Every structure is written in structure tokens, then in C-alpha cells.
Amino acid sequence: MTAGAKKRKEAPRLLMGNEAIARGALEAGIQIASGYPGTPSSEIIENLSRSAAERNIYVEWSTNEKVATEVAAAASFAGLRALCVMKQNGVNVASDFLLHLAHSGTRGGMVLVSCDDPGALSSVNEGDSRPFARILEVPLLEPGDFQEAKDMTKWAFELSEEIRNFVFLRSVTRMSHASGSVIIGDLPAETRRPAFRHKGSLLDPDNGPVISLFPGIPELKHGPQQEKLRRAADIFEKSPFNTYQGPEKPELLIVTSSACSLYSREAVHLLGLKDRVGILKMGTTWPLPPELVKRHLAGTDRILFVEEVMPFLEENVKILAAEAATDLGIKYFYGKKSGHIPSVGELNPDLVLSALRKILNLPSEKDPSDFLKKAESIAASAAPHRELTFCPGCPHRASYWSIHNAIELDGREGFVCGDIGCYTLGFLPCGFGTLKTIHSMGSGTGIAGGFGQIRRFAMNQPILAVCGDSTFFHAAIPALINAVHHRSPITVIVLDNRGTAMTGFQPHPGLAVSAMGEQAVDIDMAEICRALGARVEIRDPFDLEETQRTLNLMMEEAGGAQVLILRQACGLSPEKKGKKLFEVKVDESVCVGENCGCNRLCTRIFRCPGLLWDGQKKTARIDEVICAGCGVCAGICPSGAITKREAQA
Amino acid sequence: MTADPYNIIITGVGGQGNVLASRVLGNMLVRQGYEVTIGETFGATQRGGSVMSHLRIAKEGVWSPQIPRSRAHMIVSLEPAEAVRVLKDYGNEDVRILSNTRPVYPVSVIAGDVVYPPVEEIRSGVQALVPGARFIDATEEALKMGNPILSNIIMLGALSGFTPLPIRRSDFKAVISRFTPGDALDMNLRAFDKGRELMKKGKSKSVKRKQKSHGGKI
Amino acid sequence: MRVFGPKELQTDIIEKGLCSGCGGCVDICPYFRSHRGKTAMLFPCTLEKGSCYAFCPKAEVDLDELSMRFFGRTFDGSPLGHHLSIQISRAGGRVSSPNFQAGGTVSALMAFALMKGIVEAAVLTDREKLLPLPRLVKDPSEVLRCASSKYSAAPTLSAFNRAVREGIDRIGVVATPCQALALAQLRSNPLQKADFKDPAALVVGLFCTWSLDFRAFKDYLAGKMDPSIIRKVDIPPPPAEIMEIYDDQGKREIPLAEVRQLVLPSCSFCLDMTAEFSDLSVGVLEGRPDLNTLIIRTERGMEIVSQARKEGFLFTEDLPEENLKHLAWAAANKKKRALVKIKAEGLFNTGDGRRAVLRFSDEAAGAILAGEDGK
């Protein structure tokens, strides 16, 4: 260790939660990290990939979360420490393997990080991954601040090796994407040499084959797994990650975890309740350490659960309280079940404040001050709602334009099954309301395949699906195989914007680069589809006419599953960002404006943020600060008023 | 610093460089010995939506990454309408506001469903409520410097004379060179200096500029 | 005439199946487009008055007003409409084409008009396999390529609208009755644009009893043969009652009764068999497959016919009385059938602000309804 590193160790650094988790993993000496991008988890693998060369670790963006957990598990089987990262939805994808893995157990420390998104700030569902720990019967940790995010991640590997099973670490958006002070620790100097020992007996956990379960004899594997969980609970009894702040006998005990512990602390601070309300912040939330919880329940009659999404702590503590009812007596519980804490959406200090006020009969909040009333009235006119939209220069806007038009021209009430990515927004006006179903990764193609089969009962509607390039590899391929195999007459449109755009441009199997920036084999999705036997067309979505024409022909001729690849890089992609391909201008003298013949097609319907409507001149114009110079609007202008000229380099 | 924690909200629209601004500012203040907690939104909500970074500047301790309502001490807005939006949720009699003048129009405004009032109207409304609120033409200056994205750095520079917090050029230089590639350092420093200069100039010009209308009725 | 907007066009005409696909609303704006014979509205347009509605031959058409505008008299409901003379005709020695259906009069007239510069460009209906497609031609030799009948609806007027936007101000058009009617409304400047000039220099109308729904027709044929190798479609004059389809293997005949099932619903609302709002109307001549019937309606039409005759582009002679009677009988029957239908649907001369398909005097309506049925 150099002197510089020692000095660095002492000064706290401002780290994002995800950076802290990545740092913790490095300090734990991981040699393998895998994951699939998903907000709010992506920065963990991104950070590790930047350290890959320096730390001599292997980092990959896997094809999907299930594969990611398998990759990490292999490293664990060979005795290495391995980290696997995903957003909450990814745990659903990985869960099949994880239940097997929980039975077989692990060797080298393995930690699964799931980043949940309460409030669905960047998700299309609001799931809670914590109940998976209970279903999988593995330990669950939840950091409550940034230092803990690092320390807990590091310790999770030790726990994993101690109990010989993987450990689940759950973060949330307000931890992962928030930043705070972290004092970093040393990085290990040694690396482990992997070896997969498999010649021992079937039941030898160190040297035998790694098998999830012996059919018909669950006690051989499932039994020991539950024993591991009991050991974890014992360890958790003394864990420093469970903290209590407050009087010995509080009037009200808050039981909380994760970012909610910060909201709870703030609320107690603002109400000056430090001497009346205690906060039991749990870092080890499954299995709950029963003695610790009972000890705290014994000191109060009233308990408030402050947590997001599912009433996970609430239910598990209630079970413990019921089991110990003869000792503890009657308790009053407040939380999601009582309605004091909202059962959906993100929490914040104010929601905890109002719960505390209600429970403790504190004077309710004063009416809004004059100031706020005035601010509210200014905002009513001066802060127009910002609906979500595609970025300027986004190829999806062009793609949806053509898809929408093709469907309308076709006239048979065709529809598009949507999927997960930026293009999910296609159900909104920015995508001309084109998407009619949206579910999980790859589901668009799967659902479309099903619709295709019911056409045999005289349904005449054309059936389309969209999926992104990363989504294609992640989960759409099996659905496409199913559709091709069963001759489902659907058209799958791959919106290939050359990267995992939504989450910040991570590479995927279709690109020739890996997470570590190394050369990778770029897998040609068109060739895959052709090999399946699907008709494949590739078009540039910026060529609106050609895209629409192709799509109409495909819809008319759909005999079996066919694929249209619309290929155009994302406007924020490294090769395009900040570079205008075209200088776009509006000739005001030609613009038809709101008159018959146009009626503001570009600003009213196409709605690219780079366009503006000048209400005085009654013409469109370009917002040169926003315009990305893609030039697509020139193609939709009916009067030729919008012109594009190649931009000077 | 009068309050502990001192609460800053940096707001704007997705793509304006909100996150970079908050992280640069946070790191500058860490260098001054503060303990800083930042909460932010990005992801889907960033696609054309409002974005906010909450900074808690404290002598010690981690604070909620979401500032409680009505408890901002400083609002830095990269877009005028966003200043108003934040003011309504987090404002109070003592709040200070520093806002860019250049609107980023919501698509509902572009589409003509909703009206975006003249910036002058927003400014006078805000100043009636928060007399010391300052509006600067950060984007226009950034355009003059060749890249509108620099407006976030100009806003940081402008903030240096506008808050009791120690916002130092030397800290900015040290931090920004960690965040951006080497050749951008000089440009960023010039943008930071431009922000400071605008605040000095603006004080004497503010009366005159009130006469001038910014942005047509859209 | 009462003018409404795109919303009304969508609800009254397109959604109710009254659209004949003439293309009158297509390519004047980005909202209405035609695809495979059907008109679609791509996006909502919020205007209260639009050219799309004003031009539509099924939306608030005021025949008295149009008749006054073009012929200086109100609409009288006479079977063949206003005309100056009726002749039989065929292309003269200066033009000939194997594509001619019947006498080739239409091609000859339009080629002549282009050659003489009477029109700068001609809006015609070409086809790609079975699908009729509008085409704008400037070279007389191209006219012949578009010869031959198309039996399904074509958005021909979209090419006219494009030509106007290109700034062409003398346009020739070959139009079916609904297209000619849409064009007549367009030429009346219904939105009262200040800088309006009538861009139609010659309108040659085609006799038409009905038009097929292209998609239904193609699907029907697909059940019998490979539609992609069809070269020509023809309906020989009555009493044949068949449609002839020519493909690589030769000629096939299909019963007309089956084909009639595929007629656009919109056609049953059409009073006009002979394209009354044109300069010249051309159709078959019963019993003489090598000749056309030619109705001369305007002075401008008369002038072109006489020039074309003089220069050997056209041959004409008087129409025999027997043929005239039969033509008038057929046209009167179409008028009566359609008017009964329109009245039954409550879309004729509606009051209370309700929108109508058609308006003209009750006298003319009475004359039409008094006409005799049967031969």
C-alpha cells in the first residue's frame, strides 16, 4: 500500500450509492462481475468495468440477468468471489436459476445486488425484490447509507463464504442514484486462483459436483440450506448494520430500512421527537434476527413500519410479534396495512412526517403559507407539465411515425405489442400512441406471437411487435423462435439503435465491444432471424417513406413471422452525441403554419422538442439549442418549408 | 453557513447537465470539509421531463436524499419554468433563486396544448415572491462560447457569489478536471468565470433589462 | 355550399363507408392518404373547415351551385346532365394503341391536348398489376401507357392535388364521375382563397356505373387465380354479364353478379353515370366495341373535339337515336336508385343543421324519382 493510498483512505469521498457498492465489491476482492443494465443498477457494473484492467477482474454485460447469475455462480463454484447486478425486474428473470443456486449453495463468496425502483421512476412496474429472499431462503441485506452500501457489500462476501450460499443485497433508486460520504478501505493485493473441484462425493460441499437437489430427497440439500439461513439469523443478531437511535422506552418505535431510514431520521429531527420516538434501522432484513427484534418490541407498545413497496418488514415483524405474543403482549402496529404509510410509490420525509403527526396526535400541518399559495398560483401558469418524450434526434420518433402511418394506411386496426426500453414511451403521444401492450423484456414478441395464432379465428387485424436491439438478445429470441416455428403471422420490428440506450449505452451481443472495452464477437441479428427462417428486411428509419412502404408490404404479405430491423444509432450514442448531421431551417415564407394544408403537423403531431411554434409569426421554427440535426422533420413537412443542409464538420 | 444542513436544489430538464452540475458542486463542497448528500432522478423521467438534484450540505451526517417540502435554501434552475415548479414545492420566504432565462419548451407547449408564458412574466412573478431572485442568460452566453451545454457550468460560476457557501474557483478546477476530459478544462473554467462575471454585471443592469422582453409568447 | 372539416369528413364519410377513394382529399395536406384504394386519416386535424371536406363528392355537395358555376343553370336531374352534343367517336389515324379500350377516344383527346399545349400535364390513372395508381404525365406518348379501364377505385385526384402544389396551372384530367364531381368542387374555390385560379384546363369524364373495392376484388381474385400475373381486365357490353380477366394463360371469365358484390358501398350513393361535371364525357357504345360514346358538355370541350378531328386525332359521327335512348335510360336508372338510397338514409337536403350528402332542388328530385323503371 502506497502512502498516497493511505492518505486517500482517510478523507471521505462523495460516492454515488452504486459507486459505493462497486467499491465494496472491489475491496472484497471480487474477480468476476456480471449484470444486465437496468435503472437504477447500471452504474455498478459500469464502475467495475472501468476498474477491470487495473484490478485484473472480469466484468461483463451478460445477455440477460439469468445468464448473468449463472456466469457469476460459475466463478463462485471455482472459489472466486463474484458479484452479480441487476434491477428488480432482473431478479424475476434470474429467479429460476436462483432457486436452484440457493439449494446447491456456493463456494467463493457470491453477492446478488438488486436495485429496486420504488415509485417506478424509471420502470414499467413497481416491484419489490425483497420477498425473493424469503422465497429463495437466502439472507438479505439493505444498506441504509452510502458508507454502509460499501461496507455491507464487502461484508456480504464474507457472509456468503461463511454460510456457503449467495447473499442478496437490495438497494433502491434513492440509495443507488444518491451520493454521500464514503470512507474507502484498502483493496486486496492478492487474487485467488480458481479451481472447480468436482471429484469428491455428491454431498461434499467443497469438492463434489454442485447439484441443486436430489430428486425426491429434498432434505439432502434443502435442509442444509435452511440451516445456513438459521446461521445467518444468528450472525445478524450482532450485526452492526442494525442500529437503534432513540430513548430506551420510546413512545413509538419506527422499524425501517434502506433510504426510508434517512426519511425517518429527518422526520423525527424536524418534529423534535428524538426523545419520544426510536428508530430501529434494520440492515439485515431477512431473516430478521428474532432476539434483536423482540428486544426492541418489548420496549414499546406502538410500532410504525416505514418501508417502500411491499409491507415486507411489517409482515415479518408481525410474525415474530405473534410468536412472542405471550411475552410481549399486545402491540399496536402502524404502516401500510393501517394506511399510515402509502402502499404504493416512493416515500419521502414528508410522508413519514404526516404518519408521525397522525399517530402521535401532533398538531396537523399548518395551512399552506401565503408564500406557498402565491408560488402555487404562479406555477399554475408558469410551470407547464412536461410530458415524457423522445430526445431530439431519436430514431424511435421516426420509426413510430412510419409504423403509425403504415398501420393507419393498412386500415385493418393493426396494433403493436411493446417492449422495454426508451421505445416503451411509444404508448404516449411522442410515439403517436402506437404501442398497445407493454409488459416485460421480450414480451412484446411473445404476446404478438399469441395474437398471431388467434387470427385463425377470423381476426383480421395485422399484428406487430417492437423490441430494442438489447431486448432482442435478452428475451425476444425465444419468443421469435416460437412465432416462426408455429408460423405466427406477425411482424417484429427491431428498433436497433446500436446500444442499450435507456440505461446509458452499455454494449450488447450485437456490438463488437465488451463491457471492458475489449473486442467482442458482434452477433448479426439479421442472420439469426434468417437462420430461423424468418423473412428479414433492414431499413433506415430516417427514410420515412421507404420504412412505411416496407412495413405495409410486410403487413399485407404476413404469412409467418417476419422481422423488420430499423437501424439508426441513438441520438445520444457516443458517435452522434453533440454532433449535428444537418443544419435544419424553416423557411418562414413557405411554412403553411396552422392553415389548411398543414395545420402545424411538425409541432402539433410530430412534436420533436427541437421544433418551436412561433405564435406571433404563425410559423414553425427550429430551437437551435435543442435540435440534434437529424433532419427527419424535413421529411414530414408537407410544404417543403423545413430544409436540411449537411452540417459543416 | 446559516443552516445545517444547507439545502440546494439544482433543477432543469433532462439533457441540460443537471447531474454533472450537482456532482461537481457536491465534490467542491466536500473539498471544503462539508459532508454532502445528493439525491437525484434520472432514467425514464429524464426523457423530456423535469429533473432535480437535491444537495444536503452539512457539517456532518448523511441526510435524506430528498429535501423535505418547503425547506430549500437555494434553488439553482437551468430553466425558468423549472424554477417555479420547484419553488412551489420546496420554496419558503427565505429561499434564494438563481435561474437561467432560456426556456426549454415542453412538448405540450410545442404542440400548442399549453401556453408557456413569456420569460419576463416568469421572472417578475418569481421576483415578486422572492425579491432577490436572479435570472441570468446562461444559455445565450454558452452559445456565444460555442456550446449550449456549458450553461450548467456558467450557472455554477454564478452561484459562487450568491450563496454563503464557499464556492471556490480552485475547487471547481480540481473537481471539473476529474469529471471531463483534459481539453475541456479550459472551456469549463471560462464558463465558470463567465458565470461569476454575469452576476457582477447583472446587478447594475437589472433595472434596464426588465424593459426587454425575452422570448415571444409561445 | 356548406364546408366542414376533417373531423366531419372522417365521421360522415370514411367511417360510414361513403368514401369512393377518389383522392380529392389526398395530398392537399399530410393527414389524408390513400393506400390500396382506401383513404385513411393518419392523424387528427383540428381545423373546422378544410379543403378535404369541401372537395369530397359525398359531403355536402350542392349540385345547383355547381351547375350554376359550370353551366349557368340549376341542376335539373336530366339523365345525361348538361350537354351540347352527343357523338360517337374513336381515336383518329394519328394515334393508336393496343391498350385502347373501345375506341381510344380518351387517350386520343388527352394526347392531343398535351401535344397542343392545351394542358401542361395530364392526370391519369395507371395501374401496377391490379392496383390503379394516379399518374401525372407530361409527355403525350405516356398517355397511351395509361389507357385501358380500371374497375376499382383510384385516388386519381391526389395526382391533381400534387400537380397544383407543383405550380402547374393548366392540368388535364381523366376522371370518373365522383372524381369529376370532387374536381368541380375544387374548381369552385369553396374556401374562397384570394389567389385562386382554376387549374383544370380539360376534364374528360368517364362513364361509370360502379367501382370495385380494390382490396375485396384482389382477395376475391386471389381465391381463383394468381392476381400478380393479371394483365388486363375488361367488361364486355351487356348482355354478356361477365368480367374478362386476361393473364399469361389467356382469358378467364367470371360472372358479373359475383363481381357486383365487391362494389364500393359508396357507389350506391352516386347519381352520376356520365361524369356530368366535365368538359367531355366518354364511354362505351353498345354493340360497337370499337367505338365510344362522346358527350360534349362545354364550349371548351367542343373546341378541342373539333380541333382534334381536324388534325386527325379523332373521328366522330352522330349518335344513333336508339343508343341515345338506351344510354339515357341507364343513366336515369342510376340517378333514381341513388336518390332513393340517399333519401332513405336521410342524407338528402337535410335541415336542422344536419349534414347532407347531396343538395339540389325538390323539382329536380321529383323529376328523377318520376323517371321510369325497366326497359
**What pLDDT, on a 0 to 100 scale, did the predictor assign at position B214?**
38
Strand order in the sheet with C230-234: C230-234, C242-247, C250-255
The A residues from 327 to 386 touching B (CB cutoff 8 Å) are 348-350, 353, 369, 371-372, 374-376, 378-379, 381-386
Residue C375 pLDDT exceeds 60: no
**CB < 8 Å to C28, chain A:** 596-597
**CB < 8 Å to A384, chain B:** 81, 106, 108-109, 114-116
Instruction: For chain B, list the contacting chains (3+ Cβ pairs, <8 Å).
Output: A
**What pLDDT, on a 0 to 100 scale, did the predictor assign at position A649?**
63
Q: Quick one: pLDDT band at residue B46, thresholds 50, 70, 90?
A: low
Q: Please indicate if any CB of chain B lies within 8 Å of the CB of A174.
A: yes
**CB < 8 Å to B116, chain A:** 384
Minimal C-alpha gap between A410 and chain C (Å): 7
In terms of Cα–Cα distance, which of B127, B124, B155 is closest to B139?
B155
CATH number listed for the domain at residues A582-646: 3.30.70.20
| Sign of the Cα pseudo-torsion (A260, A266, A271, A277, in order) | positive
**What pLDDT, on a 0 to 100 scale, did the predictor assign at position A6?**
41
Burial A552-587 (b: 16+ CB within 10 A, else e): bebbeebebbbbbbbbbbbbbbeebeeebbbbbbbe
Indicate yes or no: CB of A597 within 8 angstroms of CB of C49. Answer: no
Identify the weakest region by mean pLDDT among A329-338, B176-185, C35-44. Answer: B176-185
In terms of Cα–Cα distance, which of B171, B166, B175, B170 is closest to B57?
B166
- Biggest CA pair distance of chain C: 58
Q: Quick one: pLDDT band at residue B218, thresholds 50, 70, 90?
A: very low
State mean pLDDT over B154-168. 94
Predicted confidence (pLDDT) per residue in C65-100, tens digit: 999 999 999 999 999 999 999 999 999 877 766 555
**What pLDDT, on a 0 to 100 scale, did the predictor assign at position A8?**
44
Q: Quick one: pLDDT band at residue C346, thresholds 50, 70, 90?
A: very high
Is A395-567 assigned to CATH 3.40.50.300? no
In terms of Cα–Cα distance, which of C267, C333, C320 is closest to C293?
C320
CATH number listed for the domain at residues A10-237: 3.40.50.970
Minimal C-alpha gap between C37 and chain A (Å): 10
Indicate yes or no: CB of A409 within 8 angstroms of CB of C35. Answer: yes
Q: What is the mean pLDDT of chain C?
A: 92
For residues A118 and A126, the answer to whether their CB atoms sit within 8 Å is: yes
Q: Please indicate if any CB of chain A lies within 8 Å of the CB of B164.
A: no
Indicate yes or no: CB of C33 within 8 angstroms of CB of A409. Answer: yes
Q: Quick one: pLDDT band at residue C196, thresholds 50, 70, 90?
A: very high
Task: List the single best residue of A171, A179, A306 to mutate versus B (max B Cβ within 10 A).
Answer: A179
**What pLDDT, on a 0 to 100 scale, did the predictor assign at position B207?**
40
For residues A432 and A607, the answer to whether their CB atoms sit within 8 Å is: no
Residue pairs spanning A and B at CB distance below 8 A: 213
Minimal C-alpha gap between C288 and chain A (Å): 40
Separation CA A100–CA A110 (nearest Å): 14
Chunked in runs of 10, what are the mean pLDDT values of chain A (649 residues)?
43 95 98 97 97 96 98 98 98 97 97 96 94 97 98 98 98 97 96 97 93 88 94 98 97 98 98 97 98 97 98 98 95 98 97 97 83 93 92 96 98 97 95 97 98 94 97 97 97 96 92 95 97 97 98 91 97 88 96 96 96 93 94 96 90
**What pLDDT, on a 0 to 100 scale, did the predictor assign at position A471?**
97
Residue B1 pLDDT exceeds 80: no
Q: Please indicate if any CB of chain B lies within 8 Å of the CB of A89.
A: no
Minimal C-alpha gap between A592 and chain C (Å): 10
pLDDT above 90 covers what percent of chain C?
A: 78
For residues A622 and A603, the answer to whether their CB atoms sit within 8 Å is: no
Residue ranges of domains in chain B, CATH in brackets = 6-203 (3.40.920.10)
pLDDT, greater one: C61 or B49? C61
**CB < 8 Å to C9, chain A:** none
Q: How far does CA A636 lie from the centroid of its chain?
A: 35
ipTM: 0.94
Predicted confidence (pLDDT) per residue in C140-187, tens digit: 988 887 877 788 889 999 999 999 999 999 999 999 999 999 999 999
The alpha helices in chain C, defined as continuous H runs, are 6-8, 51-55, 63-71, 105-115, 140-145, 156-165, 177-187, 214-222, 256-260, 299-310, 321-344, 362-370
Minimal C-alpha gap between C52 and chain A (Å): 9
CA distances from C313 to A320, C92, C94, C104, C114 (A): 103, 4, 5, 10, 12
Indicate yes or no: CB of A180 within 8 angstroms of CB of B64. Answer: no
Residue B45 pLDDT exceeds 80: no
Q: What is the mean pLDDT of chain B?
A: 89
CATH number listed for the domain at residues A243-359: 3.40.50.920
Indicate yes or no: CB of A350 within 8 angstroms of CB of B68. Answer: yes
**What pLDDT, on a 0 to 100 scale, did the predictor assign at position B22?**
96
For residues A330 and A303, the answer to whether their CB atoms sit within 8 Å is: no
Residue B209 pLDDT exceeds 50: no
Pairing verdict, β A243-245 and A277-281: antiparallel
Element (H, E) at A530: helix A525-532
pLDDT above 70 covers what percent of chain B?
A: 89
**CB < 8 Å to B106, chain A:** 384-387
For residues A79 and A108, the answer to whether their CB atoms sit within 8 Å is: yes
Cell numbers placing A430: 411522442
DSSP B37-67: EEEE--SGGGSSSEEEEEEEEESSS---SSP
Q: Quick one: pLDDT band at residue B44, thresholds 50, 70, 90?
A: low
Of A410, A596, A601, the CB nearest to C50: A596
**What pLDDT, on a 0 to 100 scale, did the predictor assign at position A11?**
84
Fold match, A243-359 / A582-646: no
Indicate yes or no: CB of B38 within 8 angstroms of CB of A611. Answer: no
**What pLDDT, on a 0 to 100 scale, did the predictor assign at position C73?**
95
Domains of chain C: which residue ranges? 6-213+264-370, 215-255
The A residues from 480 to 509 touching B (CB cutoff 8 Å) are 502-503
Q: Please indicate if any CB of chain A lies within 8 Å of the CB of B149.
A: yes
Task: List the single best residue of A625, A627, A633, A648 to mutate versus B (max B Cβ within 10 A).
Answer: A625
Indicate yes or no: CB of B45 within 8 angstroms of CB of A383. Answer: no
Separation CA A555–CA A481 (nearest Å): 19
The contact set of A with C (CB < 8 A) is 404-405, 408-411, 432, 552, 556, 596-599, 601, 604-605, 636, 638
State mean pLDDT over C182-197. 95
Residue B216 pLDDT exceeds 50: no
For residues B47 and A339, the answer to whether their CB atoms sit within 8 Å is: no
Residue B210 pLDDT exceeds 60: no
Domains of chain A: which residue ranges? 10-237, 243-359, 395-567, 582-646
Minimal C-alpha gap between B206 and chain A (Å): 21
Element (H, E) at A305: strand A302-306
The position carrying cell 458565470 is B195
